[in-house]
Amino acid sequence: MTGSLRGGVDPYLPGIGDDGYAVDRYGLELDYRVSVNRLQGTAVIEAMALRELPRIRFDLSGLRASKVLVGSGASGDARADAASAQRARHSRTPHHLTVTPASPIAAGERFVVVVDYAGTPRSRRSTWGPVGWEELDDGVIVAAQPSGASTWFPCNDHPSDKARYEITVVTDAPYTVVANGRQVSNRAHGGRRTWHFVQDQPTSTYLATVQIGRYTSTKVDLDGVAGHLVYPPSIARGVKHDFRELDRMMALYQRLYGPYPFDGYTAIVTADELEIPLEAQGAAIFGANHAAGDDAWNRLIAHELAHQWFGNSVGVAAWEHIWLNEGFACYSEWLWSEERGGDSAEVCARRHYDGLAAQPEDIVVGSPGAADMFDDRVYKRGALALHALRGLLGDDAFFALLRDWCADNRYGSVSTVDFLHAASAAAGSAHGGAARQLLERWLFATELPPYPA
């Protein structure tokens, strides 16, 4: 089992996720018609019961299951377990699929669920706007953070329930498909094309993605990591200009944080304009406006790459800890600025501190609440907390802490308390208490602390 649900259902996402089981693997076979936005899929979900399960509830939004099978997963052979599964009763609400097996599944028992489903996928409304599957002018984007994975497959949509993925997508031949992991095959047949991807590293549901468009692809070497730029041919010049420094970004982050944690990195640039870029596991999605050939979004290209360490490999146990994703990625922007000869991390920190000082001091960065979890103050105060800690520890100890943090928690889920413990240990017996007190002031007091000397 590669993941377990820490802390139960997340209070930031009421009604989403289930703490009764942990998923080990999703096998998704998808058939998508671009012109009519029609999705037909089969999901094979391998999981373990964490308590007795008379019923199994999945998050599934707007799509309808036609047949559900449940079987034992004890053999460890997904195909054999799926083939021997028995039909089970199921019911649905707008955002859930509830499956009732013939007899309750015992705690600790492995099981497999096969779901045939179909419908017209669309984004899910949320506190933070529409999330999940979204039609573009000519293609598809999946941007699921934090609760949109259910718009395209049945899942346990909680960030700490990480699983492996195998994704097969059949769509119209002129379109390119990008999904998580390494591309195993790509073959044309009768005007259509089948794309097959495997993601062996544990992945949160919100980081699973499928991107479909009329794209071309360019291979790039990113400090020894296999990279791809995927984009419409019409904006090739802007993409190649604005993403030309990915290699140097990767080199910096591998030096500071340790080896890149996935098989490769893909930057997808859609033909449509997007409000913000967004990370996925082993990938990031940008809009055409982020690749205009003027380097205007260089810092966010660095930000999204940093998420591969902070947020993707080392994930959050619950959404209240989101500063561990965004504060670290924001601080990585400042480190990259200094690396490329721009403002130093100190100058960036001072500027953003002055900006925060002019804003309301009514947010708790370490537990901001659902409505404010994407507030820019979470990002900037989180980054400043790290800058303050760096000043206390010194560069050698600080960056050793970050490398150890990434190595020790690789593919896992963490909390703010976990980082407090790690920082205290890195500071040593003489300064461990000071390190914890410093972080607690930045993360759990609404008042903005004094600028770190």
Query: Is 452 among the domain residues?
Result: no
CA 210/CA 268 separation, integer angstroms: 11
Question: Region 427-450: what's the mean pLDDT?
Answer: 95
Question: Region 52-75: what's the mean pLDDT?
Answer: 95
Residues tagged active-site: 304, 379
Q: Which of 208, 227, 242 is the last residue of a domain?
A: 208
C-alpha distances in Å from residue 226, one per residue of 83, 183, 218, 291, 308: 36, 12, 11, 21, 14
- Domain shared by 165 and 266, yes or no: no
Binding residues for Zn(2+), by number, are 303, 307, 326
Q: pLDDT at residue 60 above 60? A: yes
Residue 319 token pair = 């959404």
| Residues spanned by the domain of 388 | 315-444
C-alpha distances in Å from residue 109, one per residue of 51, 104, 157: 9, 10, 21
Query: Is 146 among the domain residues?
Result: yes
Query: Is 97 among the domain residues?
Result: yes
- Domain shared by 22 and 135, yes or no: yes
- Domain shared by 180 and 295, yes or no: no
Residue 289 token pair = 């406006």
Query: Is 100 among the domain residues?
Result: yes
CA 392/CA 407 separation, integer angstroms: 22
- Domain shared by 259 and 352, yes or no: no
Question: Region 130-154: what's the mean pLDDT?
Answer: 97
Query: Is 450 among the domain residues?
Result: no
Question: Region 240-253: what's the mean pLDDT?
Answer: 98
- Domain shared by 148 and 223, yes or no: no
CA 17/CA 14 separation, integer angstroms: 8
Query: Is 202 among the domain residues?
Result: yes
Binding residues, by number, are 303, 307, 326
Q: Angle 252-255-260 (CA atoms, 0-180°, nearest 5)?
A: 85
Question: Region 72-100: what's the mean pLDDT?
Answer: 89
pLDDT digits (tens, 9 = 90+) for 153-192: 999 999 999 999 999 999 999 999 999 999 999 999 999 9
pLDDT digits (tens, 9 = 90+) for 263-273: 999 999 999 99
Residue 296 token pair = 């205007």
- Domain shared by 261 and 321, yes or no: no
Query: Is 89 among the domain residues?
Result: yes
Q: Which of 308, 342, 358 is the last residue of a domain?
A: 308
Taking alpha carbons only, the member of 434, 437, 436, 410 closest to residue 422 is 436
| Domain of residue 252, CATH code | 3.30.2010.30
Question: How many residues in total does the chain contain?
Answer: 453
- Domain shared by 319 and 412, yes or no: yes
- Domain shared by 225 and 193, yes or no: no
CA 321/CA 441 separation, integer angstroms: 16
pLDDT for 286 equals: 98
pLDDT for 3 equals: 44
Phi, psi of 255 (to 5 degrees): -70, -40
CA 72/CA 61 separation, integer angstroms: 26
Q: pLDDT at residue 62 above 90? A: yes
| Domain of residue 103, CATH code | 2.60.40.1730
Three-class SS of 305-333: HHCCCECCCEEECCHHHCHHHHHHHHHHH
Question: Region 130-152: what's the mean pLDDT?
Answer: 97
Q: pLDDT at residue 370 above 60? A: yes
- Domain shared by 300 and 412, yes or no: no
pLDDT band at 7 (very low <50, low <70, confident <90, very high): very low
C-alpha distances in Å from residue 35, one per residue of 42, 140, 186, 230, 414: 21, 11, 21, 21, 42
- Domain shared by 237 and 334, yes or no: no
pTM: 0.96
Question: Region 266-286: what's the mean pLDDT?
Answer: 97
Name the burial class of residue 190, with classes exposed (0-12), middle (13-18) and buried (19+) by CB atoms within 10 angstroms of its CB: exposed
Query: Is 383 among the domain residues?
Result: yes
pLDDT digits (tens, 9 = 90+) for 337-366: 999 999 999 999 999 999 999 999 999 999
Lowest mean pLDDT among 1-15, 68-82, 313-327, 328-342: 1-15
Tally of domains within the chain: 3
pLDDT digits (tens, 9 = 90+) for 109-118: 999 999 999 9
Lowest mean pLDDT among 7-11, 18-22, 50-54, 326-330: 7-11
Chain mean pLDDT for the chain: 96
Question: Region 47-60: what's the mean pLDDT?
Answer: 97
Q: Which of 192, 208, 224 is the last residue of a domain?
A: 208
- Domain shared by 192 and 50, yes or no: yes
- Domain shared by 294 and 328, yes or no: no
